[in-house]
Structure 1
């Protein structure tokens, strides 16, 4: 079965975005706006292992606002590594023309099998946000967290993962320095019932 992997950038104090849903803190970090050639293969390996991307409405609305993809729908694949996307939302949101997006509503637990099947034996990239990823964890569908930690703190905002996961469930498997960032990879074990 597909592995569900949460890959995201976060601040040192565990926020994905500030209280205004801005990622300006991320783009202010030296080197964040250019591809790091030393680690490009790592990201490409990750995206090659992915069959589908899953996101919530806040992440999707940020992509729409920041990328201009509605005016240039041909750029949509760049935002999702060329993969089909699942969008969890209860809102009526515009979809770029020709984009391979499946809109889902309700609890992710009811959609895990559909998403895994669409991934075709490859991994599922849980792009965010944190609350949606928490719901996948609640459903027993969170296998790995890859967090790229930026040298910034916000004090408030959208949390990385608004759930309590202790050391009994999180097992560090890799640490990499990527310029000013630290990339942490954790294996996530299922909670004991």
Structure 2
């Protein structure tokens, strides 16, 4: 069981553009489901389907709702949405929480690990959450698919200092896929 931040980023290190949109990702060759070079998406889908718990921020949750509509939550694993706001609820195993202190984040992570039942915890984002988990020694890996596009600004891949050790690098379609182990101090 690992806690893995698995995401896509622009070449200049942003997971969402300045409008908090992911549209840029789906415009990249091979970035849209059903495209010829959707290998990177298939690998991500395999990881997602194997995850035992998911955590993401409110902005990502709202983007998914906006683009998926009122359909049930697209993931089967229990999903924690970190927020301080009231957000729309849809059908699915969604758990809304906040983690303002290190101890609250540790407790929340422990809940996710229990719910995952020995499977991986998928950290969707954002970059601050991933960096905070790393700082607390709770993040094991960063798996990132780098898209061949530059955004010039937006939500950073990692919003904080995180030391990493390279485990794997390969080309999958148009994406450079990198996997790192988080170095614990």
Supply the RMSD in Å over aligned alpha carbons: 1.8
SS at match of 2:52: strand
SS at match of 2:139: coil
Q: Supply the distance in 2 between the matched residues of 1:175 and 1:47 (Cα, whole angstroms).
A: 20
Say if 2:30 and 2:38, in contact at 8 Å, map to a contact too.
no
Length-normalised TM-score, structure 1: 0.85
Which of the numbers 83, 89, 104 marks the counterpart of 2:83? 89
Length-normalised TM-score, structure 2: 0.89
Which of the numbers 102, 111, 120 marks the counterpart of 1:114? 111
1:56 corresponding residue in structure 2 = 57
2:149 corresponding residue in structure 1 = 152
Unmatched tracts of structure 1, length 5 or more: none
Q: Supply the distance in 1 between the matched residues of 2:110 and 2:95 (Cα, whole angstroms).
A: 14
Q: Supply the distance in 2 between the matched residues of 1:121 and 1:42 (Cα, whole angstroms).
A: 20
1:13 corresponding residue in structure 2 = 12
Unmatched tracts of structure 2, length 5 or more: none
Give 1:153-192 correspondences, 5 Å limit.
Answer: 153-165=150-162, 169-190=163-184, 192=185
Give 1:15-94 correspondences, 5 Å limit.
Answer: 15-35=14-34, 36=37, 38=39, 42-68=43-69, 70=70, 72-73=71-72, 76-77=73-74, 80=75, 82-94=76-88
Task: Give aligned pairs, total.
Answer: 179
Q: 4+ runs of 1 displaced by more than 6 Å?
A: none
User: CA distance change for structure 1 residues 39 and 129 in 2, over 3 Å: closer, same or farther?
Assistant: closer
User: CA distance change for structure 1 residues 151 and 40 in 2, over 3 Å: closer, same or farther?
Assistant: closer
SS at match of 1:66: helix
Give the superposition deviation at 1:171.
1.1
